[in-house]
């Protein structure tokens, strides 16, 4: 395991590191923590492809959000501004009370704090089973 978070590393640095891991079989690094570096969206997709050569047991934290960014998932996902609901109450509100559709996942996220915006702006990301529900 190696932690490289918040080091201002670029796409090129990740590519070089992945190539090193691929070539040096004696290195037993299977987990890499790389968030909060200067990785582009295009770079994440390219790095995901490159990391497939490292095997199934290889884990990198920058790939977590990639599973939520495919077109099919995005087409059936909505954002709701944080209200006084909890995640469970919101799921019940959408599933039972208003029968909007089957809710697969409700995640609570917080945006970054900025001087001109309220602190800890929170919102729900709701994923439905069908895109017609969204």
Looking at every residue in the chain, the average pLDDT score rounds to: 81
**What is the predicted pLDDT for the residue at 68?**
61
What integer pLDDT is reported at residue 49 of this predicted model? 79
Residue-wise pLDDT tens digits, 107-126: 888 777 777 766 677 888 88
> How does pLDDT run across 19-60, given as a tens digit for each residue?
888 888 777 888 888 888 888 877 787 788 777 778 778 888
Whether the pTM exceeds 0.75: the reply is no
**Amino acid 67: pLDDT:** 63
User: What residues does each domain of the chain span?
Assistant: 2-68, 71-128
Site of tokens 């640095």: 13
């Amino acid at each position: 395991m190696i932690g490289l978070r918040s080091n201002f590393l670029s796409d090129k640095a990740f590519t070089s590191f992945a190539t090193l891991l691929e070539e040096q079989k004696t290195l037993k690094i299977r987990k890499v923590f790389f968030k909060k570096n200067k990785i582009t969206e295009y770079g994440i997709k390219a790095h995901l492809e490159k990391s497939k050569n490292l095997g199934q047991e290889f884990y990198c934290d920058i790939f977590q959000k990639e599973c939520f960014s495919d077109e099919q998932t995005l087409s059936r996902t909505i954002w709701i501004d944080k209200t006084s609901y909890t995640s469970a109450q919101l799921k019940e509100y959408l599933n039972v009370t208003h029968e909007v559709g089957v809710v697969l996942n409700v995640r609570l996220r917080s945006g970054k704090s900025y001087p001109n915006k309220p602190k800890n702006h929170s919102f729900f990301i709701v994923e439905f089973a069908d895109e017609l529900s969204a």
